[in-house]
A and B are shown apart, each in its own frame.
Chain A
């Protein structure tokens, strides 16, 4: 207990938090407190909310399946938007990932551009893109498809890129050493090695797109969201619940199919 050298070397009981952490924590707490105050959360409102939910449910039950035929068309439109947008998104994600991944990027500039595209696609919420496309290409499913496509690029572009970067460099070097062209190495080694994970990611993206496409109608970008919005505005909660159930069933079925496909590939 008397060796000063050891005492000096002894780690402190607690580390002093860095200024950065202090500031971030402070901002977080401030946001939280202001948020709670700003939302004017009162017991009265919470009770009123329960009341309204009860009211909504009373009027929603039983769901009105008499008009289910009229929404089937919208369900198909939603699925089509999801499929078409995801397919184009995946196709775009491939070159973007190859140009952006550190181990395959042909140049720094192209890599930064690709990464920029992915970051913008990922960080701007899809409803914002939907609003922009509704303004630029008009109401309807085309705007929805473009939105899904961008959303898919943000998702698949990122995961494809990460997958490529974690590839074992050995087989790539092996093909390079046979004198293969850049294309030969990409198509011969990188594509087969990444294929299972790319398919899995793409199926995830499709699941995500189907969920996403269901609400794009709220801003006029096609699909079943329009029907839902109309039913809500007309206070036809029984129709609305029917639509919600249809969406639930479609998404669940697709997730099941998708999971079994993924299990078979992986």
Chain B
């Protein structure tokens, strides 16, 4: 298993929107990090830089030994295969089967597109997809269309797709923000278990403070594009969270 490293990362949008600066961290295999920060603090931008969807203005990102900032556009495939993404909106393909959605997790492999289609995939691959679905307790739903599932089920299918991908690192961008608290906890349990079983490095963006306190191990907090905290949760005083949390609230009332 491999680590993910950000080194002196800086991202400027246009001429003067500094979305990230002085970002330095390493997340080792088996380490689970919660990434906190109010709206606009740069969390999503950081994820995009870590996966090559945005090019950092300065600095380096290492996925294992590969410096992805030195890659050309057509060299990202292998790196992306190693990083599984989980999204707030699940991002399943709605009008195809759950099973086919999971099979698409293998698209980064070198067997070609056709061999990821249910009709043409190898027996092993089809069985493996069923195992992934079973891991998220949705084997019975293999034949359903993805848009016939509840939110929590969709997120579990998305996790099954990520398991199918066999990533070394998981980045989750607010994976439970669209789910009610009980279902959100089920999804968090699943995500944490999957990461532990495989010893993956995880970075998870979260907003719900109760879930952060319940599941958090190491916390990285961003403010205005800078890291203001990087520590284990037991070393962080409650007042710090309160401050972040208040900030969030102030932010929301500002929008309203």
Contact B93 A171 (CB under 8 A): yes
A184 to B109, CA, bound (A): 11
List of A residues within 8 angstroms of B106 by Cβ: 178
The majority secondary structure among interface residues of chain A is: helix
Asked whether any CB of chain B lies closer than 8 Å to the CB of A192, the reply is yes
CB 8 Å contact bits of B74-92 with A (1 = contact, 0 = none): 0011111111110101111
Contact B89 A170 (CB under 8 A): yes
In this complex, what residue of A is CB-closest to B158?
A174
Asked whether any CB of chain A lies closer than 8 Å to the CB of B39, the reply is no
Contact A195 B116 (CB under 8 A): no
In this complex, what residue of A is CB-closest to B79?
A179
Contact B85 A174 (CB under 8 A): yes
In this complex, what residue of A is CB-closest to B166?
A178
Contact A179 B80 (CB under 8 A): yes
User: Which of the residues A170, A184, A193 comes within 8 Å of B95, measured between beta carbons?
Assistant: A193
List of A residues within 8 angstroms of B90 by Cβ: 170
Contact B53 A171 (CB under 8 A): no
CB 8 Å contact bits of A164-191 with B (1 = contact, 0 = none): 0000101101111111110111011100
User: Which of the residues B87, B96, B104 comes within 8 Å of A178, measured between beta carbons?
Assistant: B104
Contact status of A179 and B85, CB under 8 A, knowing A188-B104, A193-B94: no
A195 to B93, CA, bound (A): 12
List of B residues within 8 angstroms of A171 by Cβ: 91-94
Choose among B80, B106, B107, B116 the residue with the greatest number of A CB atoms under 10 Å from its CB. Answer: B107
Asked whether any CB of chain A lies closer than 8 Å to the CB of B51, the reply is yes
Contacts between the two chains (Cβ within 8 Å), count = 78
Contact A180 B91 (CB under 8 A): no
Contact status of A193 and B165, CB under 8 A, knowing A170-B87, A176-B80: no
Asked whether any CB of chain A lies closer than 8 Å to the CB of B113, the reply is yes
Contact B87 A180 (CB under 8 A): no
A89 to B95, CA, bound (A): 25
Asked whether any CB of chain B lies closer than 8 Å to the CB of A35, the reply is no
A249 to chain B, nearest CB (A): 35
In this complex, what residue of B is CB-closest to A183?
B113
User: Which of the residues A177, A183, A188, A196 comes within 8 Å of B80, measured between beta carbons?
Assistant: A177
List of A residues within 8 angstroms of B95 by Cβ: 192-193, 195-196
Q: Using a Cβ–Cβ cut-off of 8 Å, how many residues does chain A contribute to the interface with B?
A: 22
Contact B93 A189 (CB under 8 A): yes
> Which residues in chain B, 42-93, are within 8 Å of chain A measured between CB atoms?
51, 53, 76-85, 87, 89-93
Asked whether any CB of chain A lies closer than 8 Å to the CB of B175, the reply is no
In this complex, what residue of A is CB-closest to B86?
A174
List of B residues within 8 angstroms of A174 by Cβ: 85, 87, 91-92, 158, 161
Contact A188 B83 (CB under 8 A): no
User: Which of the residues A170, A178, A192 comes within 8 Å of B108, measured between beta carbons?
Assistant: A178
List of A residues within 8 angstroms of B82 by Cβ: 179
A189 to B80, CA, bound (A): 17
A105 to chain B, nearest CB (A): 15
CB 8 Å contact bits of B189-202 with A (1 = contact, 0 = none): 00000000000000
Residues in A lying within 8 Å of B, measured CB to CB: 168, 170-171, 173-181, 183-185, 187-189, 192-193, 195-196
Instruction: Identify 16 new A-B residue pairs, CB closer than 8 A, beyond the known A171-B92, A178-B108, A181-B113.
Output: A170-B89, A171-B91, A171-B94, A173-B87, A178-B107, A178-B165, A179-B77, A179-B79, A179-B107, A179-B108, A180-B77, A181-B107, A184-B116, A187-B113, A188-B113, A193-B94
A–B complex contacts, Cβ < 8 Å, 12 sampled: A168-B91, A174-B87, A174-B158, A178-B81, A178-B104, A178-B106, A178-B108, A178-B165, A179-B165, A189-B104, A192-B95, A193-B94
